[in-house]
Structure 1
Amino acid sequence: MTERPAITIDVVSDVVCPWCFIGQKRLGRALEAVPEIDVDVRWRPYQLDPTIPPEGKDRKAYMLAKFGSEERLHEIHARIEPLGVEEGIAFDFGAIKVSPNTLDAHRLLRWAAAAGGDLQDRLAKRLFQFYFEEGANVGDHAVLIEAAREVGMDAAVVETLLPTDADRDAVATEVATASRMGITGVPCFLLEGKYAVMGAQDADTLADAIRQVSAAKARGELEQAT
């Protein structure tokens, strides 16, 4: 029996990045296009702004300070929203009241990965939905506990761990590692730990990259790469 080809994809992202939500949807379609390849998707942390305090900031004031004017902000949202519609995302930027610090969300994603299966992938999707479609504060522990409960994690354990320092340093180290690797924007899809696809590329581009890396791995070429 021939062994099925298999590769890993590390998705470096932040749960408050709209392009990462679009990228998550496009990756899903790319995986559907390559059913012959087993792909292990792992979500890795990145913080667009780690300086935001734990309680978050007023989103409107924060975004105006970042982009300069309501007109500029409207232009950005107007460019993103139709792309979201194409991917089945109902962006509701007006509903978002808080720009959160995402460290705790990344801790939760780390715990979901440890639980195995597709739990982490489902949690990432739910956190994107909470923030971008429902306007929920994904820095709020109550929201994170609810997300954990919905995807099948042990909510009681999550509720116990969140107020502690569990995995704070580990997540911060991963974020720092991404920066050292030269990742300055997200999403970044890292295939087999060697080949990076930057940005929310379309599903066909991602599927093609998966096929190429899988074929290179089958030929033993990845082991030779430095």
Structure 2
Amino acid sequence: MTTPVRIDLVADFVCPWCWLGWRNWLAAKKIANDIKTEVTWRPYELDPSLPEEGVPYRDYMKAKFSGENEERWKAMRTHLEAAGPGVGIDFRFDSIQHRPSTVNAHRVIRWARGQSAKKADAVAEGLFEAFFRDNRDIGDMDVLVGIAEAAGLDPVIVRDLLATDRDKAEVREEEAFFHQIGVTGVPTFIFEGQFAVPGAADPQVLANALREAASLPGRE
């Protein structure tokens, strides 16, 4: 029996390209639907220097994309808003008020990952929707507990864990590992630990990568 192709998906939940990349991946799996897969969400904070309470979004974006970078952001935003509806995404950038730290979101998906890939996928989708569509603060404990509960996790346990530093160091260590092996942007899809596809690649590109990974020597 052929084992599933292993994919490490390195992502952050305030990264619009990551949500687009995830939806493209779901489309890619339909193209290569004869191949079983096993996706593991891996943490990557676009800005680990943020305080855990987060900062005002507009001030943050103005500082980050000032001068020449402002035009670059406008171009990226135009592309994202055009591409989103085709994969069922409604980006609502104008309504975002808060730029959260995502370290706690990564802790929650780590706990979901420990239970099942299905629950981890549900948490990831919930985080993306909460931030980009519903414009909620995904650094807030109540928001995170609600997302976790909707994905099938025990809300009482999640709340208790979030009140501690449980697994915070482990998340940061995992992030450091992916930095060390050369991941400099997200999303990054790593196939069988052998090769990577960076960015929100088209579904066909991801499907081709999946077929290549499935044919790697040594796989059963």
TM-score by length of 2: 0.95
Match of 1:172 in 2: 172
Aligned identity (percent) is: 39
Q: How does 1:13-162 map to 2 (within 5 A)?
A: 13-68=11-66, 72=71, 73-162=73-162
Alpha-carbon contact 1:45-1:106 (below 8 Å) kept:
yes
Consecutive unaligned residues of structure 1, counting only runs of 5 or more, are: none
Shift of 1:88: 1.0
Alpha-carbon contact 1:149-1:155 (below 8 Å) kept:
yes
Alpha-carbon contact 1:52-1:101 (below 8 Å) kept:
yes
Measured against aligned partners, the alpha-carbon deviations of 1:122-173 in whole angstroms (never above 9, x if no partner) come to 1101100110011011111111000001111111100100010100010000
Mean Cα deviation higher: 64-73 or 148-157: 64-73
Distance in structure 2 (CA, Å) of the matches to 1:136 and 1:75: 24
Distance in structure 2 (CA, Å) of the matches to 1:33 and 1:163: 42
Distance in structure 2 (CA, Å) of the matches to 1:204 and 1:162: 39
Measured against aligned partners, the alpha-carbon deviations of 1:32-62 in whole angstroms (never above 9, x if no partner) come to 1222111001100000000110110000000
Mean Cα deviation higher: 73-82 or 113-122: 73-82
- Paired letter, 1:84: G
Shift of 1:117: 4.1
Consecutive unaligned residues of structure 2, counting only runs of 5 or more, are: none
Shift of 1:78: 1.7
Q: How does 1:3-14 map to 2 (within 5 A)?
A: 3-14=1-12
Distance in structure 2 (CA, Å) of the matches to 1:194 and 1:32: 23
CA-based RMSD of the aligned residues comes to 1.6
TM-score by length of 1: 0.92
Distance in structure 1 (CA, Å) of the matches to 2:93 and 2:201: 22
Secondary structure, counterpart of 1:118 in structure 2: helix
Alpha-carbon contact 1:5-1:214 (below 8 Å) kept:
no
Moved over 4 A (4+): none
Distance in structure 1 (CA, Å) of the matches to 2:51 and 2:170: 19
